[in-house]
Amino acid sequence: MPNPTIDRIEKEIKSHKVVLFVKGTPQAPMCGFSAATMELFKELGIAFHSVDILTNSDIRATLPEYSHWPTFPQIFIDGKLVGGCDIVHEMRDSGELQKLLNG
Amino acid sequence: MMTPVEVEQLIRTAMPGSQVEVSDSRGTGDHFEILVVSKDFAGKTLLEQHRMVFAVLEKEMDDRIHAVQLKTRVPG
């Protein structure tokens, strides 16, 4: 069965180099972890595309199963899941994130 | 709601030999800061390491746990 939500998710993650599935928007984040994640990319000066899962309940319900990742935010780079808030912070501190973004 | 000890025991049981530290970061029994140090993580990416811990907590994260801040380490 084709699933239109999965088509939408795949379209989103292919639409930009960095895609963040978060609660809220960059202007009005609705969760501390989502806020911290968007702040991290802003501080690095990296453009990102964000998708608010609070206003896209179909994506919220489907993405964890699709990505095999249970929580939000979820960070995709080059169409691949990198992880959540803790992982991108750790990768920023180790320099791995910057390497991935420049690759 | 869960206690940090319950969370710790779940992880220790599923990952024998691991060192686990859990704190209830808001005092509400549903937000936990978790550190897991395990040799089972060796050779795995951070993504894979976190997935291993999430798999242990899968049922609880559907229901009793709202948020997890996770750190994973290989011993040594």
**pLDDT (tens digit per residue) in A37-92:** 999 999 999 999 999 999 999 999 999 999 999 999 999 999 999 999 999 999 99
* CATH code of A54's domain: 3.40.30.10
Predicted confidence at residue B17, as pLDDT, reads: 95
**Please, are residues A16 and A49 in contact by the beta-carbon 8 Å criterion?**
yes
A85-94 and B46-56 helices, crossing angle to 10°: 150
The distance from CA A81 to its chain's CA centroid, rounded to whole angstroms, is: 8
Q: Which residue of B has its CA nearest to A80?
A: B47
Q: Do A83 and B50 touch (CB under 8 A)?
A: yes
Q: How many CB atoms lie within 10 A of CB A16?
A: 16
The answer to whether residue A1 scores a pLDDT higher than 90 is no
User: What residues of chain B score a pLDDT lower than 50?
Assistant: none
Q: Which domain holds residue A8?
A: 4-102
Q: Does B55 touch chain A (CB under 8 A)?
A: no
Nearest alpha-carbon partner for A83 in A91, A93, A92, A74: A74
User: pTM score, two decimals?
Assistant: 0.93
Distance from CA of B61 to the nearest CA of A (A): 8
Count of domains observed in chain B? 1
Predicted confidence at residue A2, as pLDDT, reads: 78
Omega of the bond leading into A26 within 30 degrees of 0 (cis): no
Count of domains observed in chain A? 1
Cβ-based contacts of A90 with chain B (< 8 Å): 46, 71
* CATH code of B36's domain: 3.30.300.90
Q: Does A11 touch chain B (CB under 8 A)?
A: no
Q: What is the pLDDT of residues A3-26, one digit of tens each?
A: 999 999 999 999 999 999 999 999
Q: Which domain holds residue B46?
A: 4-73
Predicted confidence at residue B21, as pLDDT, reads: 98
Predicted confidence at residue B62, as pLDDT, reads: 86
Closest in A70, A71, A83 to B47, CB measured: A83
